[in-house]
Amino acid sequence: MLLKRLGVCALLVMTLITLVTAQFNLKVAYTGLRADFENTNTSFNLFDTNNALDKPYGTMHYLQGLDIGIRYKWNRIGLEAGWTNMQSYKIDALGTNIDQNWRISSSEFYTGIENYFGNFGFGASVGFNKMRYKVNIPGSRDRKSIVSESILSSKIYIFTTVSSGSTAISIKPYYVPKWGQFDITSFNESLGVSQSKSNEYLTGFGFSIVLYNGPQD
């Protein structure tokens, strides 16, 4: 019994030491992704080919937005959790009786782990991502949601950090592997095109510029 109590006390002491020496940070970041959107762009290209347009859709690859969250760091290990919201620029096509534009967005809740080696490190995260495709409603500022699909997604990244006092700035290039797929059948139907592939993947390369607020090494 005495050994058991001593073991519990030792565990509590170690936990308190960890909490005291750990660093809790808030973070906000700009993030951008150059995504493939292979099947989505195939559908846009089919629409361009099938219609006489003054301005075709072309291709769409870029999402950008904000990443906000928290970081809990001790020694050479860190845990992160947060929310990322990115969207595309307006993707539009103009022609006779055609005035149509789309916005594609990605909203993700995630958690991740990082390893630090001085001012450098690497990490990975996994999250739940909501992909949305919205089209304009003629004569209105509102948009109609055509695709709204939830997928699992992840990131693998490296980073370098410059810190001073209670702030730090980190540059994080990252890769989003081809993992979860989502259905774009309703998107194809809305465009009035037919293609053999009705699924899309979120995959590509991106980068984040992160500002941390809180105690730094």
pLDDT of residue 93: 86
Confidence of residue 217 (pLDDT cuts 50, 70, 90): low
Check residue 113 and give its pLDDT. 96
Pairing of strands 98-117, 77-87: antiparallel
Q: What percent of the chain has pLDDT over 70?
A: 88
Question: Can you name the residues that pair with 160 across neighbouring β-strands?
Answer: 120, 171
Strands (E) in 45-196, as ranges, are: 53-55, 62-74, 77-87, 91-95, 98-117, 120-136, 143-164, 167-176, 181-183
Of 69, 67, 88, the residue nearest 174 (C-alpha): 67
Chain segment 139-176, per-residue pLDDT in tens: 777 899 999 999 999 999 999 999 887 899 999 999 99
pLDDT digits (tens, 9 = 90+) for 62-121: 999 999 999 998 888 999 999 999 999 988 888 877 788 899 999 999 999 999 998 999
Average pLDDT over the chain reads 87
pTM of the model: 0.83
Instruction: State both tokens at 90.
Output: 């307006």
